[in-house]
Amino acid sequence: MGSILSGAEAASLVRSLPGVDAVGLEARAADLGSRSIKKDSKAWAIDTAVGMIDLTTLEGADTPGKVRNLCAKAVRPDLEAPPVAAVCVYPAMAGVASEALSGSPVKVASVATGFPAGQVPLEVRLADTEAAVREGADEVDMVINRGQFLSGDLERVFHEIRAVKAACGEARLKVILETGELVTYDNVRRASFLAMHAGADFIKTSTGKVGVNATLPVTLLMMQAVRDFRAATGVQVGVKPAGGIRTTKDAVKYLVSVNEVLGEDWLSPHWFRFGASSLLNDLLMQRQKLTTGHYSGPDYVTVD
């Protein structure tokens, strides 16, 4: 998978990428966010968004019981509502999730590689990945080492992603760039291409553990990178915005952007995901509003 570049080639290619027009990018994102989606289109968007959620719980206080509850909700979020795409947990909970989700279409995603900071030795990160896969993870969400990236050691970041990809085996690899810590759009573009050249199946914005999470402009930028990457190499890579997406309105903005920037090829859970937890309840309340004709409330969805 991915390209056949060596680390040095990838690093030099990434360094030669043009800078990002920040003003243009933000204006484009604001414009895409202003579309009004109503009635049938909204109903479609809600169900599509539900089906793209990586229902996530990444807390120190996660218990097997809590993860099982979340899995039950993932399989059947509401009467008639479609199942979500995956349940995203820590490696220690991957086994529990895998057991709870067996026989369902919902995938098990596990964060790994010293999530969320990634500041642990490579051996530990690889062992973390292998453990997650052994426990039944279908997808691995890795973090890049931002310290290495920001200090300019792009080759090392590249090789680490490669090594993790190899450790994943059959599991799909999502590479978390943690855009809030990369600070600039130029860095996000560089990290996106670096991850894709290193073999990422998905590029993901954030861990949800820092102040700045997924924003529409950053996700738009990553969508453009994914589109350009396929045009150049023929390899399709998915995008996963994560953290801070809480309302149906936000989710619809992202779907509009996917459709406009990437087209229908990406409008499926295989290629686009939302990393979210509270978003699902808002989608379900909006869904209930459409089916019953009156506004719903938090009493009619689960307390997570």
Closer residue to another protein in complex, CB, 205/286? 286
44 binds another protein (CB under 8 A): no
| From 14-22, 39-47, 142-150, 291-299, span contacting another protein (CB under 8 A) | 291-299
Residue of 295, 302, 303, 304 interacting with another protein (CB under 8 A): 295
Nearer to another protein, 156 or 246 (CB): 246
Distance CA 266, CA 226 (A): 10
299 binds another protein (CB under 8 A): yes
* Token output for 108: 């098990």
Tokens representing 116? Answer: 């969320």
Considering only the stretches 36-44, 135-143, 195-203, 294-302, report the one whose residues sit in contact with another protein under the rule CB under 8 A: 294-302
Cβ atoms < 10 Å from Cβ of 61? 6
CB of 294 to another protein, least distance (A): 3
Give the one residue of 172, 294, 302, 303 binding another protein; rule: CB under 8 A: 294
Per DSSP (E only), the strands in 85-138 are 86-89, 107-112
Residue 240 annotated to the active site: yes
Beta-strand ranges (E) seen in 72-218 are 86-89, 107-112, 139-143, 172-176, 202-204
Question: Judged by CB under 8 A, does residue 170 bind another protein?
Answer: no
Judged by CB under 8 A, which stretch of 134-142, 218-226, 227-235, 292-300 contacts another protein?
292-300
Residues with Cβ within 8 Å of 35's Cβ and at least 6 positions away in sequence, in order, are: 252, 253, 256
Q: Which is nearer to another protein, 121 or 297 (CB)?
A: 297
Q: Which of 73, 107, 174, 240 is catalytic?
A: 240
The answer for residues whose C-beta is within 8 angstroms of residue 200's C-beta and 6 or more apart is 2, 161, 165, 173, 174, 175, 237
86 in Cβ contact with 139 (< 8 Å):
yes
Q: Which of 46, 87 has the CB closer to another protein?
A: 46
- Which CB sits closer to another protein, 262 or 301? 301
SS3 218: helix
Q: What value, to the nearest 5°, has the Cα angle with vertex 228 and ends 142 and 201?
A: 25
Greatest alpha-carbon span in the chain: 59
Residue 297 in the binding site for another protein (CB under 8 A): yes
Catalytic residue among 78, 128, 141, 250: 141
Tokens of 201: 């199946």
Query: Which value, in Å, is the radius of gyration of the alpha carbons in the chain?
Result: 18
Q: Does the footprint of another protein cover residue 123 (CB under 8 A)? A: no
Please identify, using beta-carbon distances, which residue of 60 and 295 lies nearer to another protein.
295
Q: Which of 107, 174, 204, 253 is catalytic?
A: 204
Q: What mask, x for binding another protein by CB under 8 A, covers residues 245 to 284? A: ----------------------------------------
Which of these ranges, 17-25, 29-37, 172-180, 289-297, lies near another protein under the rule CB under 8 A? 289-297
Distance CA 15, CA 38 (A): 43
Query: Is there a catalytic annotation at residue 174?
Result: no
| Contact call for residue 80 and another protein (CB under 8 A) | no
Contacts of 279 (CB under 8 A, 6+ apart): 49, 53, 245, 246, 247, 248, 250, 251
Residues forming contacts to another protein in the complex (CB under 8 A) are 288, 292-300
Which residues have a catalytic role annotated?
141, 204, 240
